[in-house]
Structure 1
Amino acid sequence: MVLRATIAGCGGYLPAQRLSNDELAALKGLETSDAWIRERTGIGYRHFAAAEETASDLGAAAAREALARAGADAAEVDAILVATSTPDSGFPATAVRIQAKLGITRGFAFDMSAACTGFIYALAVADSLIRVGQARSVLVIGTEVYSRILDWTDRSTCVLFGDGAGAVLLRAEEGGGTNADRGILSCHLHSDGRFGDILHIEGGAGSTGGPGLLRMAGREVFRHAVTKLAAVVDEALDANGLGHEDVRWLVPHQANLRIIEAMGRKLHLPPERVVVTVDRHANTSAASIPLALAEACGDGRIRPGDLAVLEAIGGGLTWGASIVRF
């Protein structure tokens, strides 16, 4: 028998302010249109945090929903892992802020920084903690307030992102050690720092004294995304003795509809078995996969026994995939 990290509950939170493409263009004085944005990205709407809302506020709200859907009490949580590129502060960690907001006074909490791949990285670490017995109940949260780091004079990037948070509660359960087990079967992580400058946030506390704005070379990121994501998904399936025909759901990072559709075709999945939220949420970075999970589990699409592939690529470059059976 082996310990598996099973997904007991998923939760999500989107700020109240919701802007269409045309509303965003009018508000920010952008020379763009709904048709231009939809054609290139698939995005129609995004949510922005209120002035008083922080990443920890959004993350705590998503965590509460995940706990409620799992029928769990915050007191059972052993650890909180938060993936974010827009933390409340340099320290303490946003995870610790969320720990306090949930009223948890035991266990441990820390942040992880891997940009849009952050949730996959955090899921991998949480899975390892459960496998070795360090924790039995772990909250994994992706939370972002990208509206704070966008350059509103650059229409090629500022229309792509939104704010939000998603969370999953992982619980330890015994499995037989086969690919028929429930829970996370494996996670596969990669990075290549040679391409760090094609998607990054300018500066930081250790260089310029504080973070600047997001910069992206969109065509370069797109070129790397399709090839690297296809490779890591095949790597993950091969590691578990699985094929494309075994996959019930693709739950991808929600960056661009073209990339999502390309990955669906790669796995030979019909569109209705690819979870898409980018049209309504835009790119919420580390929050996008758990937000998509919260929706697809909440509306009953993802059912017990279903096998799902989670995958993402982000600044670093970082990329990774996880195979999960619900």
Structure 2
Amino acid sequence: MRDCIIRSVGWTVPDASISNSELVAVFNAYAERFNTENADAIARGEINEIPFSSEQFIEQASGIMNRHVVDKAGLMDIDRMRPRIPHREKEALAFQAEFGLSAARKALEKAGRTADDVDGVIVASSAQQRNFPAVSVEIQNALGMTRGWAFDMTMACASAIFAMQQARELIRTGQADAILIVCPEVMSAINHYRRREVHFIFGDASAAVLLEAGDREPGGWELQGVRLETRWSNALRSDFGFMNHTEFEEGDEFEAFVDQDGHRVFRDVIPLASSVSSQLISDLGYKPQDIRRGWLHQANIRIVQAVVKKALEREPDADAAPIILNEYGNTSSSSVLMTFDLNSDDMDTGERGLLCAFGAGYGCGAAIIEKR
């Protein structure tokens, strides 16, 4: 079978960003107002007081110091605390498709390719803007592709790696020569900015990766192997879906946002991601010292460092475990591609790296790539 090559990565983030201090200020203002307005009920034990957040809490819990968002004003409005993304008519390009298109075009431009060179488009992200038609087909059309196929898929923060496995098999078996994977993550739209446990985690970003058959031209990164595993868990969950309008009556409080048990996620994900990564390294006949670097999903600095330490059997310094979440936060499936793109130019031909992403489900995907 043919080799599969990562040819290029393109990504984009919104210009607007929110620092920890800004986020804490609006959250604490909301918490203070809620606690004051509900003081009697809190005193009777009928509802819980909302604890305050702090910059120290956020940085110690996650390593995040900043995040880029599509609508800062909506998130900073204490009466709203969610983004404003105006409705568009059916004839207009959907917001998520537009966000994904920006990264897709960057990936094609970097590779020197056009839409005519692409056989398929996969939109792989934590959530799609609508059930159908597929956002991927809309991006396919906006790119000007006159042939081929497109489909949407989701495996939360691990979506990019799961899509890479699908694309790799299609390319290796000759069913496609080039596939564009697009990860448009508008996480601010499903995050709950009034829950202390999650209000600081996510940022918005869109990333795309172009995979091609290895005989097209020299260069790129050979995708040598991928390993996927899933485990059922409710520890990280979002209930947004097409059945919401059947579940809630008029006036009910809608709470189908992201929620998590952070301590449980931390405890569960580290051994899962470490095991999947180590097994893949072994399956390919390598040893940990044969892998120079780990580009991990930027969920939490302690998770990233712990997984790299276990899988690569070395201290997770800046070379072995690069970190970008301090600036961008957790951008879900796009983060592993962004981390790779920002921290790979210094590697030499023949050097290898580990891509690893993990998220709700639980779903975990690992890939070994080698620079050609």
What TM-score do you get using the length of structure 1 for normalisation? 0.91
Paired residue for 2:46? Answer: none
- Name the CA distance, whole Å, in 1 between partners of 2:57 and 2:190: 22
> Bigger CA drift: 269-278 or 213-222?
269-278
Out of 239, 242, 260, the residue aligned to residue 205 of structure 1 is 242
Partner-residue secondary structure (3-state), 2:176: coil
Q: Which runs of 5+ in 1 are unaligned?
A: 176-180
Q: Deviations over 1:228-252 (max 9, x none)?
A: 0110011110110001111121000
Given residue 241 of structure 2, which amino acid in structure 1 is its aligned partner? G
Paired residue for 2:62? Answer: 41
Paired residue for 1:279? Answer: 326
- Name the CA distance, whole Å, in 1 between partners of 2:246 and 2:169: 34
Paired residue for 2:121? Answer: 80
Paired residue for 1:178? Answer: none
1:234 aligns with 2:273: no
Q: What RMSD in Å do the two structures reach over aligned CA positions?
A: 2.0
TM-fit CA distance, 1:208: 4.8
- CA contact 1:264–1:270 (8 Å) conserved in 2: no
1:95 aligns with 2:136: yes
TM-fit CA distance, 1:271: 2.6
1:4 aligns with 2:3: yes
1:32 aligns with 2:53: yes
Given residue 20 of structure 1, which amino acid in structure 2 is its aligned partner? S
TM-fit CA distance, 1:103: 1.9
- Name the CA distance, whole Å, in 2 between partners of 1:111 and 1:156: 29
Task: Call closer, same or farther: CA 1:182–1:256 in 2, change over 3 Å.
Answer: closer
- CA contact 1:142–1:288 (8 Å) conserved in 2: no
Paired residue for 1:323? Answer: 368
TM-fit CA distance, 1:182: 5.0
Given residue 240 of structure 1, which amino acid in structure 2 is its aligned partner? L
1:183-202 paired onto structure 2 within 5 Å:
183-193=222-232, 195=233, 197-202=234-239
TM-fit CA distance, 1:124: 0.5
TM-fit CA distance, 1:104: 1.8
Q: Which runs of 5+ in 2 are unaligned?
A: 31-51, 72-84, 87-93, 248-254
1:19 aligns with 2:18: yes
Partner-residue secondary structure (3-state), 1:291: helix
Partner-residue secondary structure (3-state), 1:98: helix
TM-fit CA distance, 1:270: 3.4
- Name the CA distance, whole Å, in 2 between partners of 1:310 and 1:80: 21
- Name the CA distance, whole Å, in 1 between partners of 2:309 and 2:260: 26
- Name the CA distance, whole Å, in 2 between partners of 1:215 and 1:25: 18
Paired residue for 1:270? Answer: 317
Q: Count matched residues.
A: 316
Paired residue for 1:57? Answer: 98
TM-fit CA distance, 1:303: 4.3
- CA contact 2:274–2:308 (8 Å) conserved in 1: no
- Name the CA distance, whole Å, in 1 between partners of 2:350 and 2:135: 33
Partner-residue secondary structure (3-state), 2:183: strand
Out of 353, 357, 368, the residue aligned to residue 312 of structure 1 is 357
1:131-170 paired onto structure 2 within 5 Å:
131-170=172-211
Paired residue for 1:67? Answer: 108
Q: Deviations over 1:11-50 (max 9, x none)?
A: 1110111111111223444632222211110001111114
Given residue 293 of structure 2, which amino acid in structure 1 is its aligned partner? W
Q: Deviations over 1:265-298 (max 9, x none)?
A: 221153323221111111111111112122224x
Given residue 123 of structure 1, which amino acid in structure 2 is its aligned partner? M
- Name the CA distance, whole Å, in 2 between partners of 1:168 and 1:304: 20
What TM-score do you get using the length of structure 2 for normalisation? 0.80
Q: Deviations over 1:123-143 (max 9, x none)?
A: 100001101111101111222
- Name the CA distance, whole Å, in 2 between partners of 1:20 and 1:220: 26
Greater share of strand residues, 1 or 2? 1
- Name the CA distance, whole Å, in 1 between partners of 2:210 and 2:343: 15
Partner-residue secondary structure (3-state), 2:158: helix
- Name the CA distance, whole Å, in 1 between partners of 2:358 and 2:13: 22
- Name the CA distance, whole Å, in 2 between partners of 1:138 and 1:302: 24
> Which runs of at least 4 in structure 1 moved beyond 4 Å after TM superposition?
207-211
- Name the CA distance, whole Å, in 2 between partners of 1:208 and 1:260: 37
